[in-house]
Structure 1
Amino acid sequence: MSTRLKVLRVFKTLHRTRLAVFKDDENAMTAARLKINEEFRKNKSETSEENIQKMIKMGSDVEVVLRETVLQMEHVGKDTLVLRPRESLLLENVPYCDQPRKKS
């Protein structure tokens, strides 16, 4: 696959992730869009294949961090926040047991 296609794929993936992660938060979506576009524009004239590959890797890593670690919270009162996790972040957990296991 050509380098140009890889760059475009990372760009598109970052924007899709931005839409999912910051859903219903217009300020965060706008700020993320501006930052993604700014970073890609800043490096638009890069010609070194090695540097381009490093930036592609960094963009992919940023996308993973956004997708796997960012949570949305909303202020609903003076000292109250509501957590709105995405389905992809809700993992099956091992049930907690108060009773210690019996030794056999």
Structure 2
Amino acid sequence: MRSQVLSLYKLLHRTSQKTFLGDAKALEAAQLRIRDEFNSNKDVSDPKALKKLLKTGQDVQLLLKTSVAQGIHKEDGRYSLRIHEHLLREDNAPFPCDKDKSNR
């Protein structure tokens, strides 16, 4: 179990480095949060609780990897998104209010 915890810890740090590439402030905040969460749970020894914490950490890692798009502020005042290969991209679905307008 200890090796799983250490592997997840390292994986979360690697994922945060890729997710917040070039954004020192966001990267530092993410890494601090990872350390704090692991430190606050370092004395957990119950196998069920450890399993639940590992699952939560894996879910967070997957969310960071696939759902967080980094916005980059450009000199002209615009923003661009840094899209990477793991980011989920889905078709846009119309909002209910958009459907109502198209039926008029």
The offset of 1:90, in angstroms, is 7.2
TM-score normalised by length of structure 1: 0.79
SS in 2 for 1:74: strand
Amino acid aligned to 1:62:
V
5+ unaligned residues in a row in structure 2: which ranges?
92-104
TM-score normalised by length of structure 2: 0.79
1:6 to 4, 12, 16: 4
**1:16-95 equivalence runs, <5 A:** 16-77=14-75, 79-89=77-87
The offset of 1:88, in angstroms, is 2.7
Q: Per-residue CA shift, 1:53-77, capped at 9, x if unaligned?
A: 1000100010000000000101225
Work out the number of aligned pairs and report it: 90
Identity of aligned residues (%): 37
Asked if structure 1 preserves the Cα contact closer than 8 Å seen for 2:66 and 2:88, the reply is no
RMSD over equivalenced CA pairs, Å: 1.8
The offset of 1:87, in angstroms, is 2.7
The offset of 1:43, in angstroms, is 0.4
Q: Per-residue CA shift, 1:28-82, capped at 9, x if unaligned?
A: 1000000000000000011111100100010001000000000010122575211
Larger Rg computed on CA atoms: 1
For 2:88 and 2:7, locate their aligned partners in 1 and report how far apart those are by CA, in whole Å: 27
